[in-house]
């Protein structure tokens, strides 16, 4: 558990937090420590069951405020709803903006996120009046690949335009170059991936590392792998920060021909080989 690992690294007390459900499905949360006058860090991911965890976050942060904690620092390693950062179709809400407003309403002194999906919104601080800092785990994921996967002259691939920010860092860490693809999204699960200029790639005998922030349905990775394998890629490794891995995503990714998948524990999963606890602990040590 991320909070336990982080508190151990910092040498601070891990608070006792209870989160259960009433018989009708409503959430119940309670802190079993004396909160009053304490500097409290609430580490609360929102992956896997985003709606339920969002409510849990709001109730927990509210209880800390009501309990008169001296300060409340929130760490939201995976921030749900960040991808609905625009109205893509008439009648849709701005989900990211709305969730940010809820979080602002409950309040916190500081909010940390990790590789937040910032595409059409430049930073979380532009959506709420709370100090924010977006940490990154991309160097750690790239480092894990460098140390654990034998690779010969690899090429880093970003499957869409916004992934350039992560592909660039990963390529530097691995000591190689990167290429960015173009993604067209048709639905929540259907995408197509092409090269930037539409010309076929030649990756004969090359090994590739695909880097993305989130793997959700796995559609992006499966389509990217098709393109890369057709271009002759010999080995395909996938690194992500947030392994949402909905439904059969992981199985589909392996079936598509991926050799290794690695992600972090912002969302616990079968591929969460990299822990973000040291990243959170370092940031808290610098700022608390």
In the complex with ligand R5P, the residue whose CB is nearer, 126 or 184, is 184
Q: Are 135 and 116 contacting, i.e. CB atoms less than 8 angstroms apart?
A: no
Closest distance between ligand R5P and the C-beta of residue 32, in Å? 36
Selected from 160, 181, 193, 233, the binder of ligand R5P by CB under 6 A is 160
Closest distance between ligand R5P and the C-beta of residue 88, in Å? 12
Closest distance between ligand R5P and the C-beta of residue 274, in Å? 18
**Pairing label, strands 178-180, 154-158:** parallel
In the complex with ligand R5P, the residue whose CB is nearer, 5 or 242, is 242
In the complex with ligand R5P, the residue whose CB is nearer, 218 or 263, is 218
Fill in the per-residue mask, 190 to 229: x = in contact with ligand R5P (CB under 6 A), - = not in contact.
Answer: -x--------------------xxxxxxxxx---------
Helix or strand run (H / E) with residue 252 = helix 249-255
The verdict on 132 binding ligand R5P (CB under 6 A) reads no
As a whole number of angstroms, the distance between CA 213 and CA 218 comes to 12
**How many positions of this chain bind ligand R5P (CB under 6 A)?**
13
CA 78: distance to chain centroid? 5
Closest distance between ligand R5P and the C-beta of residue 250, in Å? 11
**For 157-190, b where at least 16 C-beta lie within 10 A, e where not — what string?**
bbbbebbeebbbbbbebbebebbbbebeeeeeee
226 is catalytic: no
In the set 65, 70, 147, 183, the catalytic residue is: 183
Closest distance between ligand R5P and the C-beta of residue 48, in Å? 15
Footprint on residues 72-91 left by ligand R5P (CB under 6 A) = 83
User: Helix 138-148 to helix 164-174 angle, to the nearest 10 degrees?
Assistant: 40
Q: Are 215 and 239 contacting, i.e. CB atoms less than 8 angstroms apart?
A: no
As a whole number of angstroms, the distance between CA 29 and CA 17 comes to 7
The single-letter DSSP state of residue 274 is: B
In the complex with ligand R5P, the residue whose CB is nearer, 52 or 84, is 84
As a whole number of angstroms, the distance between CA 19 and CA 59 comes to 10
Q: Which residues are catalytic?
A: 183
Residues forming contacts to ligand R5P in the complex (CB under 6 A) are 83, 160, 162, 191, 212-220
């Amino acid at each position: 558990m991320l909070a336990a690992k982080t508190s151990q690294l910092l040498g601070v007390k891990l608070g006792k937090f209870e989160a259960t459900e009433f018989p009708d499905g409503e959430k119940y949360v309670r802190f079993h420590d004396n909160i009053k006058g304490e500097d409290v860090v609430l580490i609360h991911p929102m992956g896997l069951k985003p709606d339920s965890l969002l409510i849990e976050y709001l109730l927990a942060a509210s209880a800390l405020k009501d309990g008169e904690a001296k300060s409340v620092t929130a760490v939201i390693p995976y921030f749900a709803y960040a991808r609905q950062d625009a109205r893509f179709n008439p009648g849709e809400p701005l989900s990211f903006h709305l969730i940010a407003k809820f979080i602002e309403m409950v309040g916190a002194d500081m909010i940390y996120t990790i590789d937040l999906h910032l595409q059409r919104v430049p930073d979380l601080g532009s959506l709420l009046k709370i100090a924010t800092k977006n940490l990154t785990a991309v160097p750690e994921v790239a480092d894990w690949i460098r140390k654990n996967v034998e690779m010969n002259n690899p090429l880093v691939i970003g499957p869409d335009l916004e992934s350039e920010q992560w592909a660039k860092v990963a390529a530097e860490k691995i000591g190689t170059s990167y290429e960015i693809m173009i993604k067209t999204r048709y639905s929540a699960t259907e995408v197509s991936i092409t090269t930037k200029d539409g010309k076929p790639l030649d990756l004969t005998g090359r090994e590739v590392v695909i880097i993305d922030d989130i793997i959700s349905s796995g559609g992006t990775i499966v389509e990217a792998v098709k393109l890369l394998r057709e271009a002759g890629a010999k080995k395909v490794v996938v690194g992500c920060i947030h392994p949402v891995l909905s439904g059969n995503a992981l199985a589909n990714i392996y079936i598509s021909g991926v050799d290794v998948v690695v992600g972090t524990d912002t969302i616990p999963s079968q591929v969460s080989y990299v822990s973000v606890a040291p990243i959170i602990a370092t940031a808290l040590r610098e700022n608390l």
